[in-house]
Amino acid sequence: MAYSSSLMNLAIKQADYAHYISRPNPNVGAIVVKNNKVIGFGYSQAYGSDHAEVVALKEAGNLAKDGELYVTLEPCSHQGKTPPCTDAIIKAGIKTVYIGILDPNPLVAGRGVELLKKAGIKVQIGYKTKQIEKQLEYYLHWRKHNLPFVMMKNAVSLDGKIAAPDGNSKWITSEEARHFGRLKRAEGEAIITGIGTVLADNPMLILRADEMDKLRIKADNNHIAQPVRIILDSSLKIPLNSKIVETAKEYKTIIIKSNSSKINHEKEDKLRQMGVNIIGINSIDNKIDLKALLVFLAEHKFTSIFIEAGPKLSTAFLNQGLVDKVFYFIAPKALGGTNDVYQHLHVDSLRTAIEFERVIPQLINKDNILLEAYVKKDI
C-alpha cells in the first residue's frame, strides 16, 4: 500500500492528545495499518511510560505482522526509561514505516531509521514536516538550543498599559480573556514570575479545576499536571502567608534565590518545611542571571516555560533575547499614565526595535483581542 496523507493526519491527531501529558518527551502519534484498515492507534504516554509506537503496536497485537506504521517522529533507538521503540517495531514484523520527521535527539538522530533498515524494513521519511515541526516546536527548540521554549503573556489596555495611573490593574481584560490566559499557562511545564508580582497581587498561578477539566478532554481524559510555579526572589522576600507558599505542598513550587544575596537561613528552612524547593542561581548586577536560569531548567528537562510577570521581568527576558513567543491580550480601554508594559526595553531607534512575526490575531469575546506572535530572531 502506498503512503496515505490522510493516514499521517490520523497519526498527527493522535499526537495532539499527548500535548500536555508526555513532557519532557515529545508528543508523538502513531498508527498501525494493514489491508487499508487502521488496527492500532497510539500516542506518547506520561514520561517513563510507553511511547506512541509501542501503544499502537500493542493495540494491533499479532495483526501488526506485515503491516505499516505511520509515526510523526523517528522511533527511538536507545534504552531510556523505556526500551527502544525500534526493537518493538522489528519484533512486531512491521514491513513499512512512514516517518514524519527525524528526531534531533543525539541519541537517535537517524540511528532509528538505520536500525529499521538493517532489519529489512522499508523506511520513508519526510511527511507533513511543517505541521509536525509546529506540533513539536517546544521539544525541537529544546533539543536544538539546549534551552526551554519560552512563552510570555501580557495583558494590556489599548494604549499598552498594565495598570491605571493609581496602580490599579484589576481587571484590565475581561473574565473571558483571563480564563483564556490561564488556559495558556498549561503550555509551559513551569510558570515564572517575579517577587514583585507576588508581593503586589498574591497570586496562586494555577489553572482552575474547570480549566484543568477542559484540558483533560483535549488530552483524551488523561491526567494533566499543573505547571511548576517558579518565583524569582533573590533574597527570599516572599511572605510565609502568601498563597504560593501556603499551597506549596499541593502545587510544586520553586523559589530561585541569588547565590550572592544575604539570606535569612531561618526563613529559608521554614520555606523548605512548607514544601518550597529553593535553588540558588548566580547573579549579574545583583539580578538573577536569566540565561543561567534557563540553562538550569533545560538541563532538568523543562522543555517549555511560561512567563507571567510584571514589566521589569518581562522586558528583562525580551532584552536578553530569551523569549520565543508572546501571548498579548488587549482590552478596549485607554488608561494613560506611564505604566507601559514594555517601558524598560533597550530600544533607542527603529533599527534596534524588537520585531515579531507569524502574528495570529484572535477575538476572545466581542472586544478583547489576543495577538499570538513569535519573536523574530537572527538565525
- Which residues are part of the catalytic machinery? 53
Please give the grid coordinates belonging to residue 74: 523517528
Q: What gap in Å lies between CA 99 and CA 88, rounded to an integer?
A: 16
E strands in the chain: 29-34, 37-43, 68-73, 96-101, 122-125, 149-157, 190-194, 228-232, 253-258, 277-281, 283-284, 287-288, 304-307, 325-331, 356-363, 369-375
C-alpha to C-alpha distance for 201 and 195, rounded to whole angstroms: 10
Spatial CB neighbours of 291, under 8 Å, sequence gap ≥ 6:
320, 322
DSSP string for residues in 263-304: --HHHHHHHHHTT-EEEEE-EETTEE-HHHHHHHHHHTT--E
**How far is the C-alpha of 290 from the C-alpha of 278, rounded, in Å?**
16
End-to-end CA distance of the chain: 40
Rg (the chain; Cα; Å): 23
How far is 249 from 251, CA to CA, in rounded Å?
Answer: 6
Q: Three-state SS for 68? A: strand
**One-letter-per-residue 3-state SS of 151-193:** EEEEEEECCCECCCCCCCCCCCCCHHHHHHHHHHHCCCCEEEE
Three cell numbers at 174?
475581561
Q: Are 140 and 110 in contact (CB under 8 A)?
A: no
**Cβ atoms of 194 and 231 closer than 8 Å:** yes
Rounded to 10 deg, the angle between the 111-118 and 85-92 helix axes is: 20
- Give the residues across from 278 on adjacent strands: 255
